[in-house]
Chain A
Amino acid sequence: MWTLIKHRIFQLILVVWGVGTLTFVLMRSLPGDMAYRIAASRYGQDSVDSDAAELVRQELGLDASWWQSYLHWLVDLMQFNLGASLVSGLPVIETVQHQLGHSVLLAFTSVLLASLIAILVGVLSAFRQGTLDHSFLWLSTLLRSMPVFVIGLMLILVFAVAWPILPVAGFGTWQHLVLPTVALALSLAAVSNRVVRNNTLKVIRAPFYQFAAIKGLSPSQTFVQHGIRNISVPVIVFIGIQLVTVIEGIVMIESLFSWPGIGHGLAHAIFARDIPVIQGCALMMGVLFVLLNTCVDLLCHWIDPRGAQA
C-alpha cells in the first residue's frame, strides 16, 4: 500500500507540472490578442476598445516573452502561489476554492445519490429478472439518452414551477442543492445501475456463490457474506470515474441552476484567456483526479487485497 501511495505522490508532482505547462502552452498558442480578450472580460463588451487593451497589456506585461512568463509561473508554483486572476485581480486560490468547493459538494451528493439508486435498482434488476429488469432497462435508456440539461429543466418545471417547493436556480441553502443533485444523479444512475446489475448477475451465477447457497446459507447471508464484496470492486471503480467526470464536466447543470462550479468558471476563464485561473483550475482538477483515483485504489485494495498482488 505504501508503494502505491509513494507512486501516487510522484504522479501528483508530474501531473501538477504537466497540466500547468500544457495549459500554458495551449493558451499561448491560441490565435488572437490576449490583451483584447482580457480587456473584454474585465470591462465588458460595451467598454472594450484599443485603449483598454493597451492598458491591460502594460499592466500585465503581456509583451514579455513566453519563457519569462512561464518561468515566473513555475517559480510561483514552487512557492505554492497560483497567482492572481488577470480579469478580476483576485487570488486564483480564492476563486478556485469557491468554485471547486461548490463543484465537489454537488459531485459528492449527486454521486452518493446516484450510487444509492444504482445499487438498489441494479441489485433488484439482477435478482428479479423479467419485466422489472426490462422496465429498468427502458427507463435507464430513456434517461441516458436525454441530455442532463433536459432532465434538469423537467425537474424545474415539476418541482419549482408546477409544484413550487424548490428553487429554480441559485446557491446558498440546502434547497438549492436538491434539483441539480437529482438531475445529475438520475443521469449517472442510468448507467451505473446497469454496471451494478451486470456485476451482480456475474457474481450470483458464479460457482462459489451457488456453492455458498448449497452449503446451507440463506439468500441474505449468501449475498452479504459472498456477494457484496465481489460486486463492490468494479462498481467502486466505475463510481470513482463518474465522480471525477462529474466534478470536471457539469458545465450545463452549473449554468442552468446558476451553480458557481469550477466547470463554468473554467469555461469563462478560457473565453477570457485568464491563464492563471485556467492553470489553477486545471491543476486542481488534475490533483483531484490523482487523489480520487488513489482513494478508489486504496478502497479496492482494502476490499480485495488480491488486486495488489495481481
Chain B
Amino acid sequence: MTELSYAAIRRRKTRIKAALTGGVGLVLCLMFVLFGQATSNNQTRSNTLAISGPWEFTSLEPSKQGYIYTRMNILETLLNVDTKGALIPGLARTWQSSADEKTWTLTLQPNVLFQDGSPLNASAVVSALRIAQGKHGVLKKAPIKAIRVKNPQQVEMVLSQPHTVLPALLAHYSTAILAPSAYNQEGVVSRLIGSGAYQLDTFAPPHKLTVKANPTYWGVKPSIEYAQYLTGHRAESRILQAKSGEADIVYTLDAAMLEQLSRADNVVVHSDAIPRTLLLKLNAGHPFLGSVEARQALSLAINRPAIAEQVLHVAEAASDQIFASSMGAWYLDQPQENYSLEKAASLLAGLGWQKDDQGWLVRDGKRFQLTLTTYADRPELTTVSTALQDQWKRLGVDLKVDVTNSSMIPSRHADNTLEVALIARNLGVIADPVSLIANEYTQGGGDWGAMNWHSTQVDQALERLTTQSDPVQAKRDAQLVATAIYQEKPVISVANYQQHNAVNTRIKGYQFDPFLRDYFINKMELVDHVDAH
C-alpha cells in the first residue's frame, strides 16, 4: 500500500528534485569534460585556420598516418618534393652519393631545433631513420646496410647495392624525423615532436587535431597562430562546411557537388591533377586474360570519355595510360585510344570467342565471366565498376562486381584468386615512382600492379633505373616501361584523378601539393575578416 501523507509527498518531491538535479549535473559534467578536452582555450576564428578532409587518424606513428602530420606541418622529412616532382632540400641541405653510388651523404640544415627545444643533429636523424627502418614503410624495403653519423651535421647511409631512388624515399612521410624524446624505450612514438612550423596542441583521434605555431621554426615563420584539422566523413558535410565558411580549406570535394559552390562568393574551388590513376588490375594468368589481345579488347570496350564525364564529372580525366602528364619521363605523348566495340569484338573473335543467344561471349562451352573486386573507400570506384559492367556487357563479357575492403586486393593477389580489380593507385606516393613500379611490375607483378605478367625487357629496364643514374638512359627506360605497360595491358587505365579543394577567400597564399605531403600552412595568411560567423 502506498504511503499517503504530506511528509511522504514532500519526500517524493525532494527525491524528484534530487534526481533531476543529478541528471542535469551529470550531463553538464560530461559536457564540461568533453568540451574542455577538445578545444584549446586561446583559439578564435580570427587566429585559426580550419581545415577539413576525409582522412581519419588514430596513431602518432609516422609509418601509419604520417601524411596527416607532414601536411599539418608538424613533421618534416630530410628532402621535399616540388610541384613537378623534383627533389628539393628539406631538413637536409644537400645530398650526394659516392662514385659507386653505394654511399649517400646528407648534410643537415644548420640551427634547426625540434619543438621540444633539442637540436636537430646527425645523431637524432640517425636514430629516427633507424626506427623508421624497423617499421613498415619505404625504408624497410630499401637495400640499406647501415645508417651512421659522419659528423654532427652529416649523416651517411651505406647501401648493399646502388639504389637511385633513395633520396626520393627520404621525402616519404614514413621517414619523417622526430626528436629523440618523441619515442619510448620500445621505439614507439609516444609524443609527436618534430621540427615543423607547427606543434601539436590538441589530439582527439580519429577526428580532430589542432596545431599551434612553432616560434622557433627554422624556415618560413608561420603567420597563422592555430590550425585545426577536422575529419569530415561525408562529402555532403564537407561541402556545406566550405559553403558556410566554417572550414577555410576543404580537401577532396565530390565533383558532382561542385555546382553547389558556384554561387558562393566566399569560396574559390581549385581543381588540380594528382598522380593517382583509376585502373583495372588484370590477372594475366587467368585463362581468359592470358593473351594480350584479350586484354586489349577489354580496354577498347571501355568508353573512357563517358565514364569521365558522366560518372567522374571531369571530362578531361579520361586516360588510357597509367602515368599522368605530370610524371615527366613516364608519360607517353600520344593520342588516346578510341573506344571501339567492333575492334574489341574482332580481337576476341580471333581468340575463339563467339556470342551465344543471350549475347554473352562463349568459348569451349564456357562463358566469358569475370569477377571484379573493388572497395568502397572511394565512392567513385563502385559507380565506375557498374559502368564497366554495363560497357563490357555490350561486348558480351559477364562481369560480377564484388565491393569489399581494399585489403582484399593484395590478399587475393597473394592467393592468386583475383581476376580483375578496380583500384585507385597513387603513383606519386614516392616522388620518384621507380621503386613503386619496380615492386609492382617486375617478377610477375606486385600487390597493386601487374599479376602473373612477365616482361624481361621491363625487368631489365627497371633494374637499370633502380641502380644506374644516367639521366638519358633513365628517360629511355622509363618510356620503355610505360610503353610495355600501355601495349601489353597488365593493367588498364581508365582515368586520372583530379582533386577538388574549396578555399575560403579569407586565405591568402594557398598552395596545393599534388604529392599530398604538405598543406603549406606556414606560407598562408588569414586576410581578416571576411567572416561568415
Chain A residues in the interface with B (C-beta under 8 A): 32-33, 36-37, 39-40, 42-53, 55, 85, 87-90, 98, 101-102, 104-105, 108-109, 112, 153, 156-157, 160-161, 164-165, 167-174, 177, 255-258, 260, 264-265, 268, 271, 302, 305
Contacts and interface: CB of A to CB of B under 8 A. Distances in A.
A170 B15 CA distance: 37
A108 B24 CA distance: 10
A27 to B, nearest CB: 14
B199 to A, nearest CB: 19
Contacts of B237: 156, 168-169, 255-258
Contact of A50 (B205, B232, B414): B414
B231 A50 contact: no
B246 A49 contact: no
Contact of B59 (A37, A88, A169, A170): A88
Given A53-B410, A88-B205, A268-B56, A172 B38 contact: yes
A258 to B, nearest CB: 5
Contacts of A37: 405, 407
Given A36-B411, A44-B65, A305-B2, A173 B39 contact: yes
Contacts of A36: 405, 407-408, 410-411
Contacts of B15: 302
B33 to A, nearest CB: 7
Contact of A169 (B58, B67, B141, B232): B232
Contact of A90 (B58, B233, B426, B532): B58
Contacts of B207: 170-171, 258, 260
20 contacts: A33-B411, A36-B405, A36-B407, A36-B410, A40-B407, A45-B375, A45-B406, A47-B136, A49-B446, A51-B136, A88-B64, A112-B27, A164-B532, A168-B241, A168-B246, A168-B247, A169-B52, A171-B34, A172-B35, A174-B35
A190 B466 CA distance: 65
Contacts of A48: 406-407, 410, 447
Given A44-B65, A46-B426, 7 more contacts: A36-B410, A37-B405, A47-B429, A88-B59, A89-B59, A169-B240, A172-B208
B63 interface: yes
B519 interface: no
Contacts of A177: 31
Nearest to A159: B244
B58 to A, nearest CB: 4
B194 interface: no
A177 B26 CA distance: 16
Contacts of B205: 88, 90
Given A33-B407, A256-B236, A43 B136 contact: yes
B234 interface: yes
A33 B407 CA distance: 9
A102 B34 contact: yes
A173 B27 CA distance: 14
B231 A258 contact: yes
Given A90-B58, A105-B30, A258-B230, A156 B240 contact: yes
A173 B232 contact: no
B429 A105 contact: no
A127 B155 CA distance: 83
A260 B137 CA distance: 29
Contact of B140 (A33, A51, A102): A51
Contacts of B35: 172-174
B533 interface: yes
A49 B230 CA distance: 28
A202 to B, nearest CB: 21
Contacts of A174: 31, 35
B31 to A, nearest CB: 6
Interface string B38-70: 110000000000001000101101011101000
Which 7 residue pairs are nearest across A and B when measured between Cβ atoms? A172-B38, A36-B407, A88-B58, A40-B407, A172-B39, A49-B447, A36-B411
Given A44-B65, A50-B447, A255 B136 contact: no
A47 B217 CA distance: 30
Nearest to A176: B35
A109 B26 CA distance: 11
Contacts of A258: 207, 230-233, 237
Contacts, number: 166
A109 B426 CA distance: 43
B411 A32 contact: yes
B377 interface: yes
Nearest to B240: A168
Contacts of A264: 233
A160 B246 contact: yes
A253 to B, nearest CB: 11
Given A105-B34, A112-B27, A39 B407 contact: yes
Given A47-B136, A49-B446, A172-B39, A161 B240 contact: yes
A119 to B, nearest CB: 14
Which of A40, A170, A258, A265 lies at the interface centre, i.e. has the most chain B CB atoms within 10 A of its CB? A170
A145 to B, nearest CB: 20
Residue with the highest number of chain B CB atoms closer than 10 Å, among A157, A160, A255, A256: A160
A248 to B, nearest CB: 18
B83 to A, nearest CB: 19
A269 to B, nearest CB: 10
Contact of A167 (B246, B408, B425): B246
Contacts of B208: 170-172, 260
A258 B59 CA distance: 18
B152 interface: no
Interface in B184-232: 188, 204-208, 230-232
A37 B408 CA distance: 8
Given A160-B240, A170-B230, A173-B39, A260 B407 contact: no
B160 to A, nearest CB: 18
A104 B407 contact: no
A39 B135 CA distance: 12
A168 B250 CA distance: 13
Contact of B405 (A40, A171, A305): A40
Given A32-B405, A44-B65, A161-B243, A260 B204 contact: yes
Contacts of B38: 171-172
Contacts of A160: 240, 244, 246
Contacts of B59: 42, 87-90
B15 to A, nearest CB: 8
A156 B205 CA distance: 24
A104 B34 CA distance: 11
